[in-house]
Chain A
Amino acid sequence: MHEKAHDAELMARIAAQDQAALRGLYARHCARVFRFLLRLVRQEAIAEELTNEVFLEVWRKAGSFEGKASTATWLLAIAHHRAVSALRRRREESWDEAEAAEIADAKDGPEVELQKTDKAAILRRCLEQLSPEHREVIDLVYYHEMSIGAVSSIVGIPQSTVKTRMFYARKRMSELLKAAGVDRDWP
């Protein structure tokens, strides 16, 4: 709660064009935003550029922040929209699951082959093979610890779809694990 109060105070100061407050907010959330973007766009330079765009938008629109969602949720919602737009522009990575899996498979090298013997490494590799939208929901729930409502706000989909998307992301991961030789006996 204290963290939220601190964020709320920073947002109020940013709305008053306080640059020190923007620096403070950046220090608190830049890693979260950058990593979220990097997992989606997969290129550091683009993730860095989009991270700056996110905080620039915060600078411009802090006055319209109502505090209904947490600051982190708001930041990731902006980041989501920026990433989707960037991916559409680039057309280098579609939101198609099979295509994403192909890209990941094409990266197989000796290191990856070695990792296939380690269950934890296999699981991480399967996470990478998920489609961007499945990877995104997994990251939001497991890493960013977002509630169903928060994921709904960030991604812009109904809460029921958040739950099913997470469910099918996990199912897809089980399928990938099974294909890699790890049968979890689920689903």
Chain B
Amino acid sequence: MNEDNTALTEREEIEMLLPWYVGGNLDATDHDRVERYLAQHPEVRRQLELIREERHQTILANEALPTPPAGALEQLMASLPGRRPGLLARLRASENYRNIVERFGPPAPRAIRYAACAAVCLLLVQSLAITALLVKDNGAGYQTAAGKSDGEGLVFLVAFTDTASTADLTRLLQDFDARISDGPKPGGIFLVKVRVSDASPAAAEALQRRLAARRDVVRLALPAKE
């Protein structure tokens, strides 16, 4: 195959430009050059028809080809280097996820459960001021009590810090042998049930202090009853 253009005639040079002339993406100089040549050599116009036909069939051949299969995009997104898993993925990866999903579990549709989990995450970042106001509101909020036991453990009203990660929450729940039994309630408050062997008021008070001491994760911890 010869791609050396040194021996080309003027006609061949013009013919070389015709595919782009037909496609309308020739620069102004070459476009004018082609126009002038075609005006002087009308027989070359026949070439334009051949090119249009080639172009048409090339387009048809390409348009008949498939597009990437469904799922290819998700495969791409999953393979992004250094990709931090999404919030839902991180939540799902945590042990605490089971506790949360149980609240919205089957037979709720999957999408609703995901939405519920997303709502949990959003409510985690509610402001402290709103939380405090709601807790103080005895009518609409939650009554505090001195270490109420439901027979399985002690229940606390807990609000988490804005910066607490899923891993932090999981660690906290593991440390206290606890699980989230309800929530989020208005103000971003969760009901956290802590398994204990001693449910006395003194033990409850000590547990509350220990919870509240985890300031990196816990924004508010109060003994409560539902």
**Which A residues are within 8 Å of any B CB, using their own CB?**
19, 22-23, 26-27, 30-31, 34-35, 38-39, 44, 48, 51-52, 55-56, 59-60, 97, 120, 123-124, 127-128, 138-139, 141-143, 145-148, 160-161, 163-168, 170, 172-173, 184, 186-187
Contacts and interface: CB of A to CB of B under 8 A. Distances in A.
A154 B2 CA distance: 21
Which of the four size classes fits the interface of chain B? 35 or more
B20 A52 contact: no
Closest 5 CB pairs of A and B: A142-B58, A163-B16, A142-B55, A143-B62, A31-B67
Given A48-B72, A123-B57, A124-B57, A39 B19 contact: no
Interface of B: 1-5, 8, 12, 15-17, 19-20, 23, 25-27, 46-47, 50-51, 53-55, 57-62, 65-69, 72-73, 75-77, 79-81, 83
A21 to B, nearest CB: 12
Contacts of B65: 34-35, 38-39
A30 B67 contact: yes
Contacts of A143: 58-59, 62
B58 A60 contact: no
Nearest to B80: A59
Contact of A168 (B2, B77, B80): B2
Contact of B76 (A52, A142, A148): A52
B55 A52 contact: no
A138 B72 contact: no
A70 B67 CA distance: 22
Contacts of B68: 30-31, 34, 48, 51
A63 B73 CA distance: 21
A138 B49 CA distance: 16
B54 A23 contact: no
